[in-house]
Amino acid sequence: MKYIVILAIVFIVMLTAPFVGAAVYCLGKKGSVLQIRKEKTKDARYFGKAFAQLVENNLPNVKGHRIRLSKEEVFVDGDVARYYSDTVDEMVICRTKDFYAPKNVKAFRKEIYGARDIVFSGKNVRLRAACARERMILGTGVTVERWVDAEQTLTVYDNCDLGMSAAAGKRLCVGPGCRFHRLYAPEIFIGQHPDDLKDPMDEKKSDILEPAGPQPVVKNIKAVDHEMVNEREEAEISIVTDQDLTIMEDVIVKGDICSRKGVRVCDGAVVCGNLFAEEDVLIGAGAAVLGNVFTQGNIIAEKQAMFGRPGRIRSVVARETITFDKDTAVFGSVSCEGGGSIRPGAGKGGREELMFLQVT
Stretch 210-214: mean pLDDT: 78
At residue 10, the pLDDT reads: 61
Comparing CA positions, the residue from 309, 300, 266, 271 lying closest to residue 285 is 266
77: pLDDT strictly greater than 90: yes
The whole-chain average pLDDT of the chain stands at 87
pLDDT value at residue 41 = 55
How confident is the model over 124-138, as a mean pLDDT? 96
Share of the chain above pLDDT 70, in %: 84
- Measured CA to CA, the distance from residue 296 to residue 288 in angstroms comes to 19
Whether 349 shows a pLDDT value over 70: the answer reads no
Q: Which residues contact 200 (CB under 8 A, 6 or more apart)?
A: 288, 304, 306, 310, 328, 329
Beta strand pairing call for 66-68 and 314-318:
unpaired
Name the least confident of 30-34, 58-62, 128-132, 215-219: 30-34
Residue 86 is predicted with a pLDDT of 93
CA 54 to chain centroid, in Å, comes to 22
If you compute the radius of gyration of the chain from its CA atoms, what whole number of angstroms results? 27
β-pairing, 238-241 vs 217-219, is parallel
Q: Are 329 and 309 in contact (CB under 8 A)?
A: no
Q: Which residue has the higher pLDDT, 283 or 72?
A: 283
Least confident of 4-13, 27-36, 191-200, 214-223: 27-36
pLDDT of 155: 96
DSSP 212-225: -----EEES-SEE-
Position 351 scores a pLDDT of: 41
pLDDT band of residue 356 (cuts 50, 70, 90) is very low
Handedness of CA 300, 319, 291, 46 (dihedral sign): negative
For the segment 86-121, what is each residue's pLDDT rounded down to a tens digit?
999 999 999 999 999 999 999 999 999 999 999 998
pLDDT surpasses 70 at 273: yes
* The predicted structure's pLDDT at residue 196: 86
pTM: 0.83
Q: How confident is the model at residue 23 (pLDDT cuts 50, 70, 90)?
A: low
Using the predicted structure, report yes or no on whether residue 139 has a pLDDT greater than 80. Answer: yes
Give, in order, the Cα–Cα distances in Å from 30 to each of 22, 27, 33, 34, 281: 14, 8, 10, 12, 53
Q: How many CB atoms lie within 10 A of CB 115?
A: 23
Residue 323 has pLDDT above 60, yes or no: yes
Q: How confident is the model at residue 3 (pLDDT cuts 50, 70, 90)?
A: low
**Which residues 6+ apart lie within 8 Å of 32 measured at CB?**
none
> How many Cβ atoms from other residues are within 10 Å of residue 45's Cβ?
21
Instruction: Using the predicted structure, report yes or no on whether residue 39 has a pLDDT greater than 90.
Output: no
Q: Average pLDDT, stretch 326-340? A: 96
Has residue 347 got a pLDDT over 50?
Answer: no
Residue 34, pLDDT > 70, answer no
Q: In this predicted model, what pLDDT tens digit does every residue of 286-321 receive, in sequence order?
A: 999 999 999 999 999 999 999 999 888 999 999 999
pLDDT at 148 over 80: yes
Dihedral angle sign, alpha carbons of residues 356, 357, 358, 360: negative
Please give the DSSP secondary-structure letter assigned to residue 347.
Answer: S
Distance from C-alpha of 316 to C-alpha of 289, rounded to nearest angstrom: 10
Selection from 188, 146, 130 nearest residue 324 by Cα: 188
Q: Is the pLDDT of residue 359 over 50?
A: no
**pLDDT at position 2 over 70:** no
Contact 230, 236 (CB under 8 A): yes
Residue 226, CA distances (Å) to 122, 185, 212 in order:
52, 35, 19
